[in-house]
């Protein structure tokens, strides 16, 4: 009986640990998503700053906002947006990795709990078999 209780308790403990790991992974995923959004906003702000400097320089040099100067500004804006999207995409990939890890930890926790119960049942069955053998052993041996 003691062994069965210990097996079940061990399974519960492992399950609790795995579930805590799953929660940590979930929090890390949320943090990565927030970090990616923040990083993308910073990249857009840097791009807007550079674009503004380019427009200002074009105007200060009495150039038209067409042709090559306009193409340079447009290319800068496009590259800036690509940088922002790449920053966000990288963060989402890292977040996805944490989500997968969390899901795996959750499954491991469920399996640990079930394993503890099954091990406890096995211990009870083994104890029952030992008692049966002891009671039905030939006397004098």
Per residue in 88-115, pLDDT (tens digit) is 999 999 999 999 999 998 998 888 888 8
Q: Where are the domains of the chain?
A: 2-135
Tell me: pLDDT of 17 over 70. yes
pLDDT on residue 12: 84
Report the predicted TM-score, pTM, of the whole model to 2 decimal places: 0.67
pLDDT score of 29: 95
pLDDT digits (tens, 9 = 90+) for 41-81: 999 999 999 999 999 998 888 888 778 888 999 999 999 99
49: alpha, beta or left? (left if phi > 0; alpha if psi -120 to 50): alpha
Whether residue 140 is predicted with pLDDT greater than 90 in this model: the reply is no
- The Cα–Cα gap between 70 and 44 comes to 19
Neighbours of 59 (CB within 10 A): 12
Report yes or no: 39 and 127 within 8 Å, Cβ to Cβ. no
């Amino acid at each position: 009986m003691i062994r069965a209780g210990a097996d079940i308790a061990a399974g519960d403990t492992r399950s609790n640990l795995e579930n805590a790991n799953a929660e940590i992974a979930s929090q890390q995923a949320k943090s990565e998503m927030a970090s990616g959004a923040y990083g993308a906003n910073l990249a857009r702000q840097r791009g807007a700053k550079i674009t503004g400097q380019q427009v200002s320089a074009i105007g200060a040099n009495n150039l038209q906002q067409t042709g090559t100067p306009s193409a340079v500004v447009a290319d800068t804006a496009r590259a800036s947006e690509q940088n922002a999207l790449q920053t966000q995409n990288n963060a989402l990939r890292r977040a996805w990795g944490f989500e997968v890890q969390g899901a795996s930890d959750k499954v491991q926790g469920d399996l640990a709990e079930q394993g503890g119960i099954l091990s406890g049942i096995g211990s009870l069955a083994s104890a029952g078999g030992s008692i049966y053998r002891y009671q039905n052993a030939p006397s004098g041996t």
